Chains A and B, each alone.
Chain A
Amino acid sequence: MAAATDDAGDSNEMIRVVSSDGEHFEMPEAAANLSLVLRHMIEDDCADAAGIPLAVVAAKPLAKIVDYCTKHAAKSSGLTIEEAEELKRFDAEFIEVDTDMLYDLLVAADFMGVEGLSKLAVQRTADLIKGKTPEQNRETFGIVNDFTPEEEEEICKENEWAFQITKPPSRLC
């Protein structure tokens, strides 16, 4: 695999990346360009046959990210409405992952500078948090409650309106 050249518009090149646990992946240059970090490495001629090492991204999330970038790069410009819809569906399915993977994707996407994926993972996390009690959220995300009961009570008091469990009335006014 040759190093990426500076030739403008040469996007058929395949870029190799190596996960923290030593697995190799390949994706088209256009896909790699969706990651700011990879793009800068390619521009600096750091993409070679050995592959770009990604020290903090393990194989499992990296495989997902390669998938994401390849799909989005193939359909980046001049989308028809159908294609945009399809991409939306792809995103929705793509992000249906467990919290372990979600956490890995959040870190990896932010680290690699894949903006679209970062937004997607952030939104998914927010969606998981919404509509749940604090206890449910602690369970979902493995959060340990390190407040004393007194501290907890004080926080509740400070913003009483938010902690009151009320059901939305069926009709207003």
Chain B
Amino acid sequence: MATEETTPRRYRRLKRANDVSTVAVASSSSKRVRLSKEHNTYKDRVSSLPDEILSKEHDTYEDMIGSLPDEILILILDKLDARTTIITTILSKRWLNLPRRSHTCYDFAIDWTLPQVEATVDGSQGSLLKNLLVDNCKFRKIYLNSLPCLETFACRGLQPTKMFYGQRILPTDSLVLQFKGPEEWIEPIAVPSPLLHLKKLFIANVPINWDIFWIVALLDAAPVLESCHVHIDNRSEKTASWLDVQPQKRQCHCLKELIVVSFDAVGWKIGFVKHVMKASPRMRWVHLLDGHVVEDDERMLGGLEVVPCRRDWHELERSDVLDDLWDGICSPQLEIILE
């Protein structure tokens, strides 16, 4: 096992928040099998069908499902969890090799077959695993080892889970963190190892009672970050508390855009935006808007989309906020959009 367990430095007290789901998405989008991607001409399609379908006279005892084209059977397997998929290999020779053919996506519904508090996903040599979803996670710790093709990892659970990334994992250049679900204790910790390749960061459903400055810790750890989206969930009734540690005065040399969803004229939100703007000499685009985040089911993992909504600013309030934001900032190429 190639995992180094570092004891993360606790830098602030526990906060109440919601279920954490951590999704690391690499740049290339997953290739999933699609239904009827390209339709040839009608004639081509008829002639490409297997004979048994064209001359179909099936009765109940015939292996109908086995005569389906591979592509359809693979689509069916894609809807099964890993365990059930493996069990189908014993049905008949027709089914034996199908799972090896397709899977870009595995659903490991194994939490009750392996009742442990730790899980190790070790791809060993040559693993082609691209997407990994741990749903209803009851593991306290998950180790990911030797997954050189891993593009997407998602973890949804009811208790905090510590993630350890071992060797041979594709350097992540895009990270999506979404905090949602039932109430839960979350421990924001200092990032133990720098996110050296991270270019895009999307943090969604940050509870309003969280101190937004813990995000600064993530920014500090990502020296080449170019784009940062933050969505604050205003539905939480708790008020914001202040950070009791000072963020490091590191600069975000590559950060070009900051998008804050659910922005309003609250002092700490303005303070956060100003902090990031000051630390980012190359910042060009700051977009502050109202709205929420929806999950894009089609993309299954890590697909989040911002749905903007118009805020009715009082003109004076709006210009006050803008004055506040610009105060002390002199950057000719910077544009601030406040919606």
Indicate if the CB atoms of A37 and B87 lie closer than 8 Å: no
Q: Considering only CB atoms and an 8 Å cut-off, how many residues of chain A contact the other chain?
A: 49
Interface of A is mostly: helix
A130 to B87, CA, bound (A): 10
Q: What is the bound-complex CA distance between A77 and B110, given in angstroms? A: 39
What is the CA–CA distance of A141 and B113 in the complex, to the nearest angstrom?
Answer: 27
User: How far in angstroms is the closest Cβ of chain A from B153?
Assistant: 21
Chain A residues with Cβ below 8 Å from B53 are 56, 107
Q: Mark A135-173, 1 if CB is under 8 A from B, else 0.
A: 001100111111100001001100101111010110011
**Total contacting residues, chain B, CB less than 8 A:** 52
Assuming A110-B35, A152-B90, A155-B90, is B96 touching A126 (CB within 8 A)?
no
Q: Is the interface of B mostly helix, strand, loop or mixed?
A: loop
- Residues A103 and B68 in contact, CB atoms below 8 Å apart: yes
Q: Which residues of A contact B82 (CB under 8 A)?
A: 162
User: Shortest beta-carbon distance, A87 to chain B, in Å?
Assistant: 15
Considering only residues 10-44 of chain B, those with a C-beta below 8 Å from chain A are: 35-36, 39, 41-42
A123–B58 CA distance with the chains assembled, in angstroms: 22
A110 touches B72 (CB 8 A): yes
Q: List 26 A-B contacts (CB under 8 A).
A: A37-B45, A40-B42, A55-B46, A56-B46, A56-B53, A103-B64, A106-B68, A113-B35, A115-B36, A118-B75, A119-B35, A122-B75, A122-B76, A122-B79, A125-B65, A129-B88, A130-B81, A141-B65, A141-B66, A142-B65, A147-B93, A161-B83, A163-B87, A172-B111, A172-B115, A173-B117
Q: Closest 5 CB pairs between A and B?
A: A126-B79, A168-B112, A162-B86, A141-B65, A113-B36
Q: Are B46 and A100 in contact (CB under 8 A)?
A: no
CB B203 to nearest CB in A, in angstroms, measures 28
- In the bound complex, do residue B117 and residue A37 qualify as a contact, i.e. CB atoms below 8 Å apart? no
- Asked if B84 is an interface residue, CB under 8 A from chain A, the answer is yes
Residue of B61, B62, B96 near A155 (CB, 8 A) is: B96
Q: A76 at interface (Cβ–Cβ under 8 A)?
A: no
**What's the Cα separation between A76 and B87 when bound, in Å?**
38
Are A142 and B62 in contact (CB-based, < 8 A)? yes
Q: Which one of B54, B75, B90 has the highest number of Cβ atoms from chain A below 10 Å of its Cβ?
A: B90
Q: How far is the CA of A19 from the CA of B129 in the complex (A)?
A: 42
| C-alpha gap A125/B53 in the complex (Å) | 18
Q: How far is the CB of A133 from chain B (nearest CB, A)?
A: 8
Please indicate the chain A residues that have their CB under 8 angstroms from the CB of B42 in the complex. 37, 40-41
| Assembly CA distance A151 to B56 (angstroms) | 31
Q: How far is the CB of A56 from chain B (nearest CB, A)?
A: 6
Q: Given the known A-B contacts A111-B49, A129-B80, A162-B83, are A141 and B64 also in contact in the complex, defined by CB atoms under 8 Å? A: yes
Distance (Å) between the CB of B159 and the closest chain A CB?
A: 8
Complexed CA–CA distance, A71 and B251 (Å): 57
Expressed in whole angstroms, the minimum distance between the Cβ of A60 and any Cβ of chain B is 12
| Interchain CB contact (< 8 A) of B64 among A99, A127, A134, A168 | A99
The answer to whether B84 touches A129, judged by C-beta atoms less than 8 angstroms apart, is: yes
Is A118 a contact partner of B62 (Cβ separation < 8 A)?
no
Minimum distance in angstroms from B307 CB to a CB of chain A: 16
Check if A143 sits within 8 Å of B91, measured CB to CB.
Answer: yes
Given contacts A142-B65, A162-B87, A163-B87, 7 further A-B contacts (CB under 8 A): A56-B46, A99-B64, A110-B72, A126-B76, A129-B76, A155-B89, A166-B113
